[in-house]
Amino acid sequence: MISQQVMTYADFMNAPKRRDRAATRTALLEAARRRFAEQGFDGTGVREIAADAGVDATLIFRYFGSKKDLFAEAVKGEIPEGVGDPDAGPAALAEAMAREVVLEDRAGHGGGEHPLLVMLRSAGRPEVRAALREEVCGRYLADLESRFDGGDADLRAELVGALLIGMGVMRSVVASPVLSDAEPDRVAALVVEMVAALENKP
């Protein structure tokens, strides 16, 4: 009976700590996403992230191992809603990606850019290139490829990926005034037209 009481008390005492760890980890990820989006990988320090989260910087290494591991986890974006529609064709899927990854105003998401665009800004680092390859090829392009009928599905999917990444580079890195100032609806409509040409390949 005493043993049972001791275990119950221990569980009670440990429960808040588990919640605190989860909350701290979430706060660090949110702070990291904001900092990486605004400053890129090289421009962001672990002390800044920790300060934003209101914790000591040593917790970053305890929970994530390293700054690059924190970056890899922080930039894992949600797949756009359109990707989850099994009936959406490549053009519809590309439109969803264009709107939600490249064209979306993320002011309501803590500012900054979509995680994929954050990775593009830091793509000179090997670990970032690996994460970018996993995110783009392993998630977005694999789903796109599955929506194409006929031959060359992998090539057509990568051409769509090149289009979307190129748009991200032009808007985010080059800061092209034409593409940056264009109406999102017009840009999305043109993306649909271009991808439809690949979709309708005999």
Mean confidence (pLDDT) of the chain: 78
Average pLDDT over residues 77-86: 54
- 42 plus 116 within the same structural domain: no
Average pLDDT over residues 126-142: 72
pLDDT of residue 126: 72
pLDDT of residue 83: 54
Residue 125 forms part of a structural domain: yes
On the question of pLDDT at 104 being above 90, the answer is: no
Instruction: Give the Cα separation of 114 and 134 in Å (integer).
Output: 16
Residue 75 forms part of a structural domain: no
Domains of the chain: total: 2
Taking the whole predicted model, whether its pTM rises above 0.75 is answered as no
Which range (18-27, 98-107, 108-117, 138-147) has the least confidence? 108-117
More confident residue, 72 or 54: 54
More confident residue, 16 or 145: 145
- 110 plus 183 within the same structural domain: yes
Cα–Cα–Cα angle for 195, 104, 181, rounded to 5 degrees: 85
pLDDT of residue 81: 47
Q: Are 165 and 148 in contact (CB under 8 A)?
A: no
Which residue range(s) make up the domain with 19? Answer: 2-67
Q: Determine how many CB atoms are found less than 10 A away from the CB of residue 135.
A: 19
On the question of pLDDT at 196 being above 80, the answer is: yes
The string of DSSP codes covering 51-80 is HHHTS-THHHHHHHSSHHHHHHHHT-PPPP
Q: Which are the contacts of 111, defined by CB distance < 8 A and separation ≥ 6?
A: 34, 37, 38
Q: Which of 22, 44, 67 is the last residue of a domain?
A: 67
